[in-house]
């Protein structure tokens, strides 16, 4: 069964990030829009838990740091219940990496990589998001994508899929490699968060807000009700995220961790302001 994270209003108690091992390569990641020159060249990998994953590797063309971005963003999404694929840290042995490098002309490094659960999906039209059964989670996505400063948020990073458990169409969001100042964590300035929110809100999300608003009367007012507390990361949760051991392996030093921790604390405190801004425009 393909699953996404818990969408309930309750919080996950801990991150509990699974650690799995790669078994075989299934192919290149099939993102139709993912064809730019500096693509991460993610791979479709089967793991020893019998699931398949889209895996981003160390030494990919976009840099190992995007793995850290993906892990931190996905961890935040899990804690605040944003619709996002389940994720794991996957170990890929040298033999399999050598094989992948040979057939793809890449220079990936073996060891721990970032893995996002593969969800068979369809191309999304801008008006289809309103038909997803979990549409009331869309407010969380708007707030989440703005708060992590994801410069690369577009329809190619929204997946529509059929949940195998209840047979309903749902959406989730993927690909946060370009979040957090495009990997430059020490440039994250909490005092500028309000300007960043305003710019990203109008540049990236307003078109989706409008499409949902036109599709379903009064839906936006409903989905923005009573969500503020779910976006306030606790200090112990922030500490747990920045101390995930694999971040050291992926090149994150103490200065970058400190900058990220201060930023996460600041954006948790600013969620109320963002929700108020959103309500003014809907």
Distance CA 222, CA 139 (A): 10
pLDDT digit string (tens) for 117-175? 998 876 655 557 778 888 878 777 877 887 787 777 777 788 888 888 888 989 898 98
pLDDT digit string (tens) for 76-101? 999 888 999 999 999 999 999 999 99
pLDDT digit string (tens) for 190-200? 665 555 555 55
| 55-64, 83-92, 203-212, 254-263, range with the lowest pLDDT | 203-212
Share the mean pLDDT of the chain: 79
For residue 36, pLDDT beyond 70? no
Strand, helix or coil for residue 152: coil
Give the residues across from 117 on adjacent strands.
53
CA dihedral (107, 112, 113, 115) positive or negative: positive
Query: What kind and span of H or E run contains 172?
Result: strand 169-173
Pick the closest to residue 7 from 98, 91, 60, 77 (CA basis): 77
Distance CA 198, CA 145 (A): 12
For residue 250, pLDDT beyond 70? yes
Pick the closest to residue 131 from 212, 220, 214 (CA basis): 212
- As given in the structure block, the two tokens for residue 278 are 């959103």
Kindly report the pTM of this predicted structure.
0.84
CA distances from 189 to 91, 226, 260, 276 (A): 34, 28, 9, 21
Phi, psi of 270 (to 5 degrees): -100, 0
What's the mean pLDDT in 37-57? Answer: 89
> Are the C-beta atoms of 126 and 155 separated by less than 8 Å?
yes
Distance CA 106, CA 170 (A): 34
Pick the closest to residue 114 from 163, 63, 58, 165 (CA basis): 58
Distance CA 280, CA 209 (A): 12
Pick the closest to residue 40 from 21, 65, 72, 17 (CA basis): 65
Query: What kind and span of H or E run contains 88?
Result: strand 87-92
What is the domain partition of the chain in residue ranges? 19-117, 128-281
Strand, helix or coil for residue 127: coil
């Amino acid at each position: 069964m393909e699953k996404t994270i818990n969408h309930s209003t309750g919080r996950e108690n801990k991150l509990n990030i699974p650690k799995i091992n790669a078994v075989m390569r299934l192919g290149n990641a099939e993102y139709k829009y993912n064809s730019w020159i500096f693509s991460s060249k993610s791979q479709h990998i089967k793991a020893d838990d019998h699931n398949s994953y889209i895996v981003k590797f160390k030494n990919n063309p976009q840099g190992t740091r995007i793995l850290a971005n993906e892990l931190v963003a996905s961890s935040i999404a899990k804690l605040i219940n944003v619709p996002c694929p389940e994720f794991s840290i996957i170990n890929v042995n040298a033999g399999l990496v050598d094989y992948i490098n040979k057939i793809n002309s890449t220079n990936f490094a073996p060891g721990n990589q970032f893995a996002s659960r593969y969800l068979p999906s369809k191309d999304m039209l801008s008006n289809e998001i309103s038909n997803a059964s979990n549409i009331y989670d869309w407010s969380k996505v708007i707030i989440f994508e703005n708060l992590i400063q994801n410069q690369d948020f577009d329809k190619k990073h929204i997946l529509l899929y059929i949940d195998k458990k209840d047979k309903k169409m749902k959406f989730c969001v993927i690909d946060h490699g370009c979040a957090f100042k495009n990997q430059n964590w020490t440039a994250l300035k909490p005092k500028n968060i309000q300007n960043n929110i305003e710019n990203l809100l109008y540049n990236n999300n307003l078109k989706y807000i409008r499409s949902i608003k036109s599709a379903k009367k009064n839906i936006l007012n409903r989905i923005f009700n009573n969500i503020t507390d779910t976006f306030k990361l606790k200090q112990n949760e922030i500490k747990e995220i920045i101390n995930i051991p694999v971040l050291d392996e992926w090149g994150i030093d103490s200065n970058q961790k400190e900058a990220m921790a201060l930023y996460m604390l600041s954006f948790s405190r600013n969620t109320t302001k963002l929700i108020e801004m959103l309500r003014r425009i809907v």
